[in-house]
Amino acid sequence: MGGRSGSTVVGAYAFDVNFKGSQAEAYRSNIVLRPKASEVFAAGVTAIEQISGCRVAPNSVRGDVAMVQAEILC
């Protein structure tokens, strides 16, 4: 993706976050046995907001338990 990046831990999940312009991606970087998608998505949104300093746009979150993508509003 390029742009800026950083790492953070939210609850039981560690993420590497990349963002550029209005797009962001949070890659889960730790091993969790059968993670719940709803927990990963919520933690991924928090990680994106922490690292980017921007809010995640409503209804823009997509991905899976390994990677969460979202549009950000800065």
**Residues written for the chain:** 74
- Determine contact, residues 60/44, Cβ cutoff 8 Å: no
Q: Give the global pTM.
A: 0.94
Average pLDDT, integer, range 30-46: 96
What's the pLDDT score for residue 3? 81
In which band, very low, low, confident or very high, does the pLDDT at 2 lie, cut at 50, 70 and 90? low
C-alpha 28/C-alpha 25 separation (Å) is: 10
C-alpha 25/C-alpha 62 separation (Å) is: 10
SS3 36: coil
